[in-house]
Structure 1
């Protein structure tokens, strides 16, 4: 069963400007070590950071949080070996998901030269089982 949805879009240049201006403290406040490692391993790390930024905002919305209620690093988006992004919830985000009986969050990320976009769907255990 679908419990919540969220979407977000951001200009890649905005994320790039924030990283170049603020540096490591910006990256560490918003992204986990695994996300940073993934993004920095890319030819264009800024588009990957922007996609994850949009993804996290989409997940917050799917959980019913808007932009408050948990830390940015409570949501982690890591690509599986085949490339499909997967959402991991920690801390307050995991607690909220448990309270709302959310078993997982499905996510789609995309970007072009200018924008990154994400769509997230918070689903129940039945939906996860049907997907597998």
Structure 2
């Protein structure tokens, strides 16, 4: 099912129109059409976007597969260095929780940063999901 692409940071109106023309309207469809570098190059060309921007959107679509992750937590995870399911699966819950709290203290992104239990759940979910992005 996935999330609508307009919920992904960086998905501008122009990009969304290009995706729609390619039949890509959810994060799951984006992941399905852009798992390999060749797929991403072809989609970037068809949509008329830079391949770097497309990869950023693909990484955000990847993290959107997790339950409980909205735009703010996604931004925090990206800033922490856990921008994909594979990267998140390798994290220590305590270390990532501390990092997310530091990021939020500095940037004040939310009044409710994820708890240690939530971070542990995100990591557990990531470990259970297959990796869909190939480099």
Structure 2 length-normalised TM: 0.31
Greater RCO (CA < 8 Å, at least 6 residues apart): 1
Q: Which has the higher strand share?
A: 1
